[in-house]
Amino acid sequence: MMGFSEADIMAIWLTFKVACIATLLLLLIGTPIALWLAYTKSKWKGPISAIVALPLVLPPTVLGFYLLIAMGPHGPIGHLTETLGLNYLPFTFSGIVIASVFYSLPFVVQPIQNAIEALGQRPLEVAATLGAGPWDRFFSIILPLSRSGFMTAAILGFAHTVGEFGVILMVGGNIPGVTQVISVQIYDHVEAMEYNEAHWLAAAMVIFSFLVLTLIYSTSRRKKVTGGLYGS
């Protein structure tokens, strides 16, 4: 059978939905973290930076395992959801969204932090002397001048969420229409020796990854050219 099956299309749609929601949450959570890391002189900057970067070095199954424990009946997140009268998060759509946020956090925080640090303190100090408050400085100075960093963060966060496998499988399992994303669906096809079906989804992922990287490098190149023109 050629093309995408109904289960494949469902997995693609679910993956897109998870990635969109996770990316929005990542930008909302990652931006204040990046701001704090960019400007703080606290002794906690090193440890907090290390915690944020942990998903870069930890095997996804390790992170997924501890998230599964934390979200379960005996974990702190599980106790919280139980207190609030909510269902436990493992093996649910909400659970894989939260797991995706944890796993993709460094891919959003670090580009934003680097872009903000590249600005330096001078533009903000000038804006402050003109009476601009914190929110005004963020929306008038930081956001416009760091937009390439925010764009890179959003693209990387979205793309990394789309490509997740280990964390999703550990926290969400493999429930069609609920937690069965593209990467898990490919794994299913391979296990069933359905290589033609696996090829279609895998090729789509390769093309998607190529387009994402092209977009990021093009954005970076435009930033350098623009910076060179304005700097000359």
Write out pLDDT tens, residues 143-189.
998 998 999 999 999 999 998 899 999 999 999 989 999 999 999 99
Instruction: Give tens-digit pLDDT for 88-107.
Output: 999 999 999 999 999 999 99
Query: Is 187 part of a structural domain of the chain?
Result: no
- Residue whose token pair is 């002794």: 43
Return the amino acid letter for 124. L
pTM listed for this prediction: 0.87
Assess if residue 189 is contained within a domain.
no
Is 55 within the bounds of a domain?
Answer: yes
- What are the tokens at 143? 């956001």
187-211 pLDDT tens trace: 999 999 999 989 999 999 999 889 8
Distance CA 112, CA 116 (A): 6
Residue 212, domain member (yes or no): no
d(CA 90, CA 95) in angstroms, rounded, equals: 5
Assess if residue 171 is contained within a domain.
Answer: yes
118 in Cβ contact with 171 (< 8 Å): no
Contacts with 145 (C-beta within 8 Å, 6 or more apart), sequence order: 119, 123
- Asked whether residue 149 is domain-assigned, the answer is yes
What is the CATH classification number for the domain harbouring 35?
Answer: 1.10.3720.10
∠ CA(150), CA(156), CA(157), 5° rounding?
Answer: 85
Q: Please give the residue range of the domain that contains residue 68.
A: 12-175
Whether residue 6 lies inside any domain: the answer is no
* CA–CA distance, 135 with 80 (Å, rounded to integer): 32
- Are the C-beta atoms of 163 and 212 separated by less than 8 Å? no
- Compute the average pLDDT of residues 61-80: 93
Domains contained in the chain, number = 1
Q: Are 75 and 156 in contact (CB under 8 A)?
A: no
Of 2-11, 117-126, 173-182, 213-222, least confident by mean pLDDT is 213-222
Inside any domain, residue 170: yes
Rounded Cα distance, 197 and 50, in Å: 40
